[in-house]
Structure 1
Amino acid sequence: MAKESVGQGACGHTGMVEAVKKGMAGEAVLRDLADLFKVLSDHTRVRILHALLKSELCVCDLVDALDMNQSAVSHQLRVLRSAKVVKYRKEGRHVFYSLDDDHVVSLLQDGLDHVME
């Protein structure tokens, strides 16, 4: 008896499968989402984001709050900035960082709620 190949309607739920396919985001969008999760998968970056969830902070405040060196914090902030997860503003010689928008706040808060459940 020949096996039916996967992806050829083997389960008989073609209507449901077609509806799912039509509702799925495009490959480029899903790749971008995977890249966002990669950025969020670093413990140091999550620590920075958690601090920024509490308040806008300048680099030197992040260094003090996280007990890290300035070079390491700045490097991680560049990664977060390029991923559009944080934004910055300059005030004199200080650069202040905050979470980019409410979506990032929600993503972090939902993630925290989930792991603390």
Structure 2
Amino acid sequence: MTAMAKKSSAAQGLPASLAHPVAPDQARLDAATSTFRMLSDPTRLHILWLLTHGEADVTALIESCGASRTAVSQHLAKLRFTGLVDTRKDGRRVIYRIRDGHLARLVGEGINHADHVVTGEPPHE
């Protein structure tokens, strides 16, 4: 672990389960880039943001994000294929949930950052 990585996780004061002070090698950079690529579509980001608030089926996601059934289904398939969402069956319905807390926090921070950009609120730590 580099001195910078040690300082970064210690300075954040995060519990061990939330901080992974590993220097980014090529595999980690590629995995992070893949995740950011999936977040770069507004509909996918909206779906993930909705899932940070709890599980949902396709119908609920369609109603909440306003996209067509076809579009939401295609985005969910991509999110599932890339491992960003999980599913479970509830009778005939498929229920979607965000995969993990790191992703949920990343989505939330992205939306928080966007709020600063849109409102002009000054940045903070």
TM-score category (smaller protein)? 0.7 to 0.9
Say which is worse superposed, 51-60 or 38-47, in terms of deviation. 51-60
2:59 corresponds to which letter in structure 1?
C
Residue 81 (structure 1) aligns with? 80
Corresponding residue for residue 108 of structure 1: 107
1:94-105 residue pairs with structure 2 within 5 A?
94-105=93-104
Which runs of structure 1 show a deviation greater than 3 angstroms over 4 or more consecutive aligned residues? none
Shift of 1:115: 2.2
Q: 3-state SS of the aligned residue for 1:65?
A: helix
Contact 2:49 2:108 in 1 (8 A): no
**Alignment-mate amino acid for residue 36 of structure 2:** F
Residue ranges of structure 1 left out of the alignment (5+ in a row):
1-17
Task: Please tell me the root mean square deviation across aligned C-alpha atoms, in Å.
Answer: 1.9
2:95 partner SS: strand
Q: State the Cα distance separating 1:19 from its structure 2 match.
A: 7.0
The separation in 2 between residues aligned to 1:24 and 1:63, in whole angstroms, is 39
Aligned partner of 1:81: which letter? Answer: R
The offset of 1:113, in angstroms, is: 2.2
Flag structure 2 segments of 5+ consecutive residues without an equivalent. Answer: 5-21, 117-125
SS of match in other structure, 1:68: coil
Distance 2:47 2:65 in 1: 8
Q: TM-score if structure 2 supplies the norm length?
A: 0.69
Q: How many residues align?
A: 98
CA contact (8 A) 2:43 2:67 kept: no
Report the AA paired with residue 111 of structure 1: G
Supply the AA of the counterpart residue of 1:114. H
Query: 1:35 & 1:114 partners in 2: Cα distance?
Result: 20
Identity across matched positions, percent: 34
